[in-house]
Structure 1
């Protein structure tokens, strides 16, 4: 085991999550193996632009994965406008390219495979009677569709998409559940998920297998919070913790 990691008292993932009255999952890269699919769709949508601009954007897309689609496309429009490659109207740009992106996802998203052990973990938590939710940067209708296609939709009390920031979605889930922030845990795979959990005051567990960056990069500077991570959603997989994160020994 690397010196930067330590076992979190050898707790199994299913037991760590079951210790919270409310469990919230991110979708892409946690339940559905769709991170690279979405990167490929972005590259295809912007193929008419200079390759260096597209690669600059996809690098930022990876870095801020989990942010809302509108924010992502606004960032590309701003970068393109600075170079004289995009028109002045951000809404027109968004309607055109986000529409093309949504059309590609409509063709491909529901065929994306589940992440390793996702169905197993969700079934086990659901069987224990735990309230399960999804908070994702994906639009709600798309998220509902992919979960329905995977046969998992009925396991969730709510599915809330990227029409609003994820931290706000977590707040809505807490309000709906009548739960305090400390009662909930978000299972995510990106720095944006960490920031949303910290803003909402919930616990957080990082899934590393499908993410774009190592846990040391995703979980840094958490102001004393536990920096816990797992490889995938294996219910019996061990929860590990960064020994140097958040000022911990």
Structure 2
């Protein structure tokens, strides 16, 4: 018998949500913003990078731009030259995000689940690659800010953000009682590094569970199709997590 999502999450001391593709249906919004921000460099180079951008979604903004500067432009990904590049193109990206991000809809079940967890007194946090101020703004626009204890943005890597939450909630010794709810392999790796449990949400993810929940980091991970409170929580990459009506 499988657990339903709401009950399963309430069995944890702390729930940490990723933002994009988990609470907010914004993954492709960010891809489109990145495509426009880097348009100076031509379609071929940018589209090649966007594949990596999707694959490593969940990294901090600085890490993404460093990867483009280093791997596509032959730069160092650090130093004065990179900082000038970062200021220019990250600034463009931030302007596009400011224009489009807050209009992204919530993911299916997100509002209902967050409010149900809040009603049960479960501590909720957000750890995201999005900058903190941007994340706080989109949560406020969605009406979810009051339910979230803290928002930890992409100024630091996600694993560090999870560590902060564990230290400040004094549950370091019981890290597995904290769960990160995410939609990317970067989220899985952050949870593994911090020692927390991991729940993969598949519906809005760039890649299916079979491509995300691989390797030793996936040991003990769980999956769910979306955030509907009654969604079935499955253990690891065993079979399709979609409800029958969503399967092709």
TM over 0.5: yes
Quick one: which of 160, 167, 170 aligns to 1:175? 167
Q: State the aligned residue count.
A: 234
Residues 76-87 of structure 1 mapped to structure 2, 5 A cutoff: 76-82=68-74
Alignment CA distance shift 1:16-1:111 (3 Å): same
Aligned residue number for residue 95 of structure 1: 87
**Structure 2 unaligned residues grouped into runs of 5+:** 240-248
Give yes or no for contact 2:188–2:217 (8 Å, CA) kept in 1. no
185-194 or 225-234: which moved more?
Answer: 225-234
Aligned residue number for residue 156 of structure 2: 164
Dislocated runs of 4+, deviation >4 Å: none
Alignment CA distance shift 1:233-1:243 (3 Å): closer
* SS of structure 1 residue aligned to 2:90: helix
Aligned residue number for residue 120 of structure 1: 112
CA RMSD of aligned residues (A): 1.7
Quick one: which of 212, 216, 238 aligns to 1:218? 212
- Does 2:228 match 1:234? yes
Aligned residue number for residue 193 of structure 1: 187
Alignment CA distance shift 1:55-1:153 (3 Å): same
Cα distance in 1 for residues equivalent to 2:84 and 2:112: 43
Cα distance in 1 for residues equivalent to 2:217 and 2:32: 35
* SS of structure 1 residue aligned to 2:28: helix
1:241 deviates by 2.5
* SS of structure 1 residue aligned to 2:39: coil
**Structure 1 unaligned residues grouped into runs of 5+:** 1-8
Give yes or no for contact 1:126–1:155 (8 Å, CA) kept in 2. yes
- Does 2:25 match 1:27? no
Once the two structures are superposed, residues 116-174 of structure 1 have per-residue CA deviations (whole angstroms, 9 ceiling, x without a partner) of 01000000000000100000000000000000011100101100000001000001001
1:82 deviates by 2.2
Alignment CA distance shift 1:240-1:108 (3 Å): same
Cα distance in 2 for residues equivalent to 1:201 and 1:145: 29
Cα distance in 2 for residues equivalent to 1:212 and 1:192: 12
Alignment CA distance shift 1:150-1:223 (3 Å): closer
1:237 deviates by 0.7
* SS of structure 1 residue aligned to 2:73: helix
State the TM-score, normalized to the length of structure 1: 0.90
Aligned residue number for residue 243 of structure 2: none
State the TM-score, normalized to the length of structure 2: 0.91
